[in-house]
Structure formats: C-alpha cells, structure tokens
Chains A and B, each alone.
Chain A
Amino acid sequence: MPAYYKMEFEKPLDELDQQIEAAESQLKAVTARAENPEARESLSDENVLLLQGQIDRLRDQREGLLASLYQKLGPWETVRVARHPKRPQTRDYIELITKDFCELHGDRRFGDDPAMVTGFARIGKQRVLVVGHQKGRTTQEKIACHFGCAHPEGYRKALLKMQLAEKYHLPIVTFVDTPGAYPGIGAEQRGQAEAIAVNLREMSRLKTPIVSIVIGEGGSGGALGIAVADRVAMMQFAWYSVISPEGCAAILWKEANEQTNSAAAAALRLTAKDNLELGIIDAIIPEPVGGSHRDQTGAAKNLEAWVLSALEELKGLSGDDLIAHRYARFRKLGQFAEV
C-alpha cells in the first residue's frame, strides 16, 4: 500500500501486518540458525512449528479482520476507499474486460480532453462503445486529466461518440469516476453547464441501450453528464451524490475538516446501498474482499458479468421502447408530498 494514502480505519490491519512481518523475520532468523551446526542444539523443531502456527493464526486473523472492516465501512471511509490511488480506473477496466479497444479522440470543435476516454471495444462477443472519466495514474497523467475533472470538450466528445454509437446500434457502456466537472475559467467560457445540460437531454433520447457504472467517484453533474442510462450500477465502495462531502461540509458546516467531512458524507447518503434504496441506481456490483484496489482482476470480473447481463436484458427492446423506459426511469425519481 502506498505510504502517501493512509486510511485511518485500516490501522488495526497495519498493526497485524507488522506482527506478521515480525513473526516471519523471526522464523527466518531461526531457520537461518538451523543451517549453522554450532547453534543446532539451541533450536528445537517445536520452536519452528510454534512460530509457523503463530504466523498462520495471524494470517487467518488478518483475513477475518479485513473482511469485517470492509463489511461495516462507514460513508466517509467509503469515500476514502473510492479515491484510493490503486483503485481501477476506466483505462484499467478497458484493459481488463474489453478486447480490441479502438480509441476515438476529440470533440471536433475545440480539442481532446484526456479526462474523458471514448472508443469502440468488445466485451465478450458484444461490440460496444465505451465512455469513461479517466483520473490518471502517474502525477503527469493526473495533471493532464485534471484528476478526472472533465472540461466541456470532454462532455461534447462523449456525446459525439455516443451519437455515433446510436447510428450504428452499438450499446453504450459508461464508467463514471469524477470528483466533479472542472471548475475553471476556460471551462466556464466554453460552456461547462451547457455541455452537461445538453448531454442530459440528448442521452435521454439516444435510441440505443446505455448502461452506466459508477466505478469510483460519482461527483454531481459531472458524473451525471455521462450517466443518463437504462441501467445504472455502482461498485460496492463507490460514492454518488450531488456534491462532494468536503464541498457540502464547507457550505453547511462552514468548514471542511475530518469530522465535518465525515458528518456530511453520512448526511448525503452517498453510498451504493443508500443510492439503491433511493431508487437512483439499479444494482450494486460486489467488490473483492478488502476493495477493488486489492484485486483489480476480481473487480473487473464482477463488473463484466453485470454489464453483460444488463445488456442482455436490454437486447430485445426497440429504440422507442428504450427511450420510453429510460424516461419513465428518471421521471419517477424524487420524493415530495402533495396536499
């Protein structure tokens, strides 16, 4: 685990790791002495067995602890996991579940936004168009991608390619992973709000199946801008909400610190479970024990299975049926009283 991304709730796990490490080095030292005939008599087989047993017990304990820690993850802890630097990103999923990815660049108007990845690909036997936010892995990539915050040209690029997919009856798979759309001078000048708004309107009437997965962060309009879909799922430890916990804490609690962020995260009901209960998403994709950052392949396998089953469900529907159902899906969202 990178030292620069510590998660407080994993502290007991780190302690166990240290104990295991200590026991292992002890065992190593003991076996090393065993090679040396002079020290032979000071060492018994029982000693080795005892150490071995201790290590096994610690390992079991660690496994149980990991599972239980992630089973009762709080909302703020979930946000921390969703932002883990080793968590699989759009390009990782493309690598892991698709074949023959044919990347398509640019919005034909202004430029090519690296924070938005688009292209043709195959998932199983299914040909699809993939659209997704990219945060970037190395520092250089992260800066180029603005840490996953797309510009208007990113949203316009996504729409352009999605309309292409509609033309050729290709299903669309979108990966949502953004803290929010980029707030900057150029973004405002080029119509960030308009770009997102147009995506919302146009996605609602694309006559081809659309499935969306919030793989990490689902930050507000920037996330929704590629998530008006027939089926929406969230990875188990992703978050999806109208504002980031920090943003909410800064406004409603007047300051953003560890405590208020945590309170805001809980108030916003941003976890996969909450969003499922509110009817905002249709499914939760389980993550491997200890989160996707520990097992990217396992996460990708679960995601692929869900995508294929969702696409299978939508297969028989005509374009008109699709948009009618999609409209109904979003039309019913919202809770109010009528007097």
Chain B
Amino acid sequence: MTTSPTPPSTTAPASSAAALAATTAKAGKRPAVRTWSDLRSETATRRSAIPEGLWLRCPGCSQMIYRRQMEANLHCCPECQHHYRLSASERVKQLTDPNTFEPMWQGLRPTDPLKFRDLKPYPERLAAEAVKSGVNEGCLAGTGFIKGRPVMLACLDLSFMLGSMGSVVGEIITRAIEHATAENLPLVIVSCSGGARMQESGLSLMQMAKTSAALARYDEAGGLFISVLTDPTTGGVTASFAMLGDIIFAEPKALIGFAGPRVIQQTIRQELPDGFQRSEYLLTAGIVDRVVARPQLRTEIARVIDYAGK
C-alpha cells in the first residue's frame, strides 16, 4: 500500500465500502473527493445520535452543562435532571449488572417486502440508518441481571428509524416474550418509538397483534411484565405491548400517547393543555403506575420483581 490517505473511519460502514474501493483503485493519486454528507456520516458512526461538543445547553433548564458530567449522571442534566434520550446499548448498560447482559437474535435484518419507495427507497434508508446509528435494527434484547435478579430485557432504539416497529422489531419483541415465558423470567421492555414503521405497512401493523398475542400467553403463564415508557413512546408501540405491562413505569416528562400532539391539534383545532401526554399527566389520568426517575429505575424494577416475580 502506498501513502494513500484513506478516510479516518475506524469501522468501515457498508455504504462507504464502495467509496473506499474507488479510493484504492486510484492508488497513488489523491483520494476521491469526500462531500459534507460523507463527513457527517463518518462522524455519526463515531458517536451515535448525540451532538458533538464538550458543552451543551440543556433543553430543560437552559444551563450550559458539561457533557461528561451529564453522561456520568446517567445522561441526565446535573442541574435539572432533564432526561436525555438513550441508545439501546446505553440503556442496557445502565440497567443491567456489569457484564451480565447476553444479547440475543442479533442476526435479524430488515428486508424490503413491499418494495417501498418514498422520496428515498427503503433499502437505502435502512443502510443510511445503520451507518448513522451503528446498529442494524431498532431493538436490542437479551437476558441479564438487574440487581442480581435475572430478567429478559428488550430495549427499543430511537437512533434507528425512530425506534419504529417493523417486522424485525416485532419479531425480536415476540421472541423475547416467548423466551421469558419458556424460561420463567420476568420481562422488562424499555420503549421509545415513533410507532409502527410505515415502510412495512400492513406487516408492521400485524406486529402489534403478534406481540400482544404473545403477551397473552405470557400472562396465562403467570409472568411479570414491567413496561418502561421513555421519551417518546407513541403510535403502534404504545397501542400494543408498551401499554400491556402488568406494571407500567414512565420516565419523567416523557411524551407518551397514541396519536402525536400535532395530529391531535390538527384534528380538534384547539390548544392542548399544559403537560398534555407527558408522564406526569398520564399518572393523574390513571394510565401509568409510577413515574420513575432514571437513577431509581434499577431499584424500582428490582423492588417490583421481589413483590410480583416468581
């Protein structure tokens, strides 16, 4: 190899493989011109979905906060406890005892059964999302321990197509429920999602029925399902497994609902009440059991398992 300066990406994502090949083909010359979007996607692989910068302004209290400090504080603002959104892997890391999580069904990949094409074909969108988020789908599931209690854990991932539920997410959730049923494990699902995935249309819709039916069997078997709702949980995910928890926790100030606020506003043409569709509002409406701040989440889950788990 000559002194060809390849782009400084550590893990070569699928879509830039072609660009890399083009670069090496013209070995000795300057590498192919990289555009701004290339640079953006390269930086995105290094740090998923989190804006760059050492300091950031908290959307909760408008204070300038030090990123490291925020991250050390479970991704909550050290000043006002504003809960930042988490990737599934970060969530798993926060919830489970160190080195106990064993991921499952990592090989499931989305396909394009409908040949869906909007402004961008679905396969292209999937590839771009995979590069951007560093994961292959919007759900991470596996077994692990929470404060020494064995659990089946599944976490949705906002960074991949807004955590939307297509065939893969539906299948992983269903397998997680079935595994929990077979192994007699408490089930914890942490939800954050824009809803059912449009690009798989009717098949996405059917995942709602599929996951809910699996939960019926889990329920028959006497399983304990703790559903944790985080910002945002809407649409088809809320209207299926997320609302079927035996116990439902919500993180503070999370947006949780069936229809999005904008759709509601367009339908009824009036101002929405303050705090509408937020966790605290749902608590008073009688829809969630407890609003649990992130630092207490592990303790609260363990506590409920001790009361209700088998």
Task: List the interface of chain A (C-beta within 8 A of B).
Answer: 181-185, 187-194, 196-198, 200-202, 204-205, 220-221, 224-225, 228, 240-243, 247-248, 251-254, 263-264, 267-270, 274-275, 278, 280, 326-327, 330-331, 333-339
Complex Cα gap A254–B197 (Å):
16
Chain A residues, CB < 8 A from B217: 327
How many residues of chain B have a CB within 8 Å of chain A?
62
Chain B residues, CB < 8 A from A181: 239, 258-259
Q: A279: shortest Cβ distance to chain B, in Å?
A: 9
Complex Cα gap A187–B257 (Å):
10
Chain B residues, CB < 8 A from A254: 119
Sample of 16 more A-B contacts, CB < 8 Å, known A264-B118, A278-B203: A183-B264, A188-B276, A189-B285, A192-B239, A197-B240, A197-B241, A197-B244, A205-B213, A220-B236, A224-B209, A242-B204, A327-B213, A327-B217, A331-B174, A333-B206, A337-B110
Instruction: Classify the interface of chain B: helix, strand, loop or mixed.
Output: helix
Chain B residues, CB < 8 A from A270: 201-202
Q: Count the A-B residue pairs with Cβ separation under 8 angstroms: how many?
A: 195
Q: A6: shortest Cβ distance to chain B, in Å?
A: 25
Which of B28-36, B127-135, B266-274, B291-299 lines the interface with chain A? Answer: B266-274
CB–CB A326/B239 < 8 A: no
Q: B132: shortest Cβ distance to chain A, in Å?
A: 17
8 Å CB contact of A200 from B108, B213, B267: B213
B263 within 8 A of A: yes
8 Å CB contact of A252 from B119, B202, B263: B119
Q: Which of chain A's residues has its CB closest to B105's CB?
A: A338
CB–CB A334/B117 < 8 A: no
| Chain B 154-199 interface residues, beta-carbon cutoff 8 Å to A | 166-168, 170-171, 174, 196-198
| Chain B 197-222 interface residues, beta-carbon cutoff 8 Å to A | 197-198, 200-210, 212-217, 219-220
B14 within 8 A of A: no
B60 within 8 A of A: no
Complex Cα gap A242–B244 (Å):
20
8 Å CB contact of A243 from B107, B110, B198: B198
Q: What are 27 A-B pairs at a CB distance below 8 A?
A: A181-B239, A182-B267, A188-B276, A189-B285, A193-B239, A196-B258, A200-B213, A205-B216, A220-B205, A221-B208, A221-B239, A221-B240, A225-B239, A241-B205, A242-B197, A242-B201, A242-B236, A243-B201, A247-B263, A267-B116, A267-B201, A278-B203, A333-B209, A337-B109, A337-B111, A338-B107, A338-B109
CB–CB A197/B168 < 8 A: no
B39 within 8 A of A: no
Complex Cα gap A253–B119 (Å):
6
CB–CB A242/B202 < 8 A: yes
CB–CB A183/B267 < 8 A: yes
Task: List the interface of chain B (C-beta within 8 A of A).
Answer: 107-111, 113-114, 116-119, 166-168, 170-171, 174, 196-198, 200-210, 212-217, 219-220, 235-236, 238-244, 257-259, 263-264, 267-268, 272-273, 276-277, 285-287
Q: A155: shortest Cβ distance to chain B, in Å?
A: 10
Chain A residues, CB < 8 A from B277: 188
CB–CB B209/A200 < 8 A: yes
Chain A residues, CB < 8 A from B212: 197, 200-201, 204, 228
Q: Which of chain A's residues has its CB closest to B213's CB?
A: A204
8 Å CB contact of A336 from B167, B216, B239: B167
Chain B residues, CB < 8 A from A339: 107, 109
8 Å CB contact of B268 from A184, A269, A280, A333: A184
Complex Cα gap A224–B212 (Å):
12
Q: Which of chain B's residues has its CB closest to A249's CB?
A: B118
CB–CB B258/A192 < 8 A: yes
8 Å CB contact of B110 from A182, A192, A200, A336: A336
Report which residue of A183, A187, A248, A270 has the largest number of chain B beta carbons within 10 angstroms of its beta carbon.
Answer: A183
Chain B residues, CB < 8 A from A189: 285
CB–CB A193/B238 < 8 A: yes
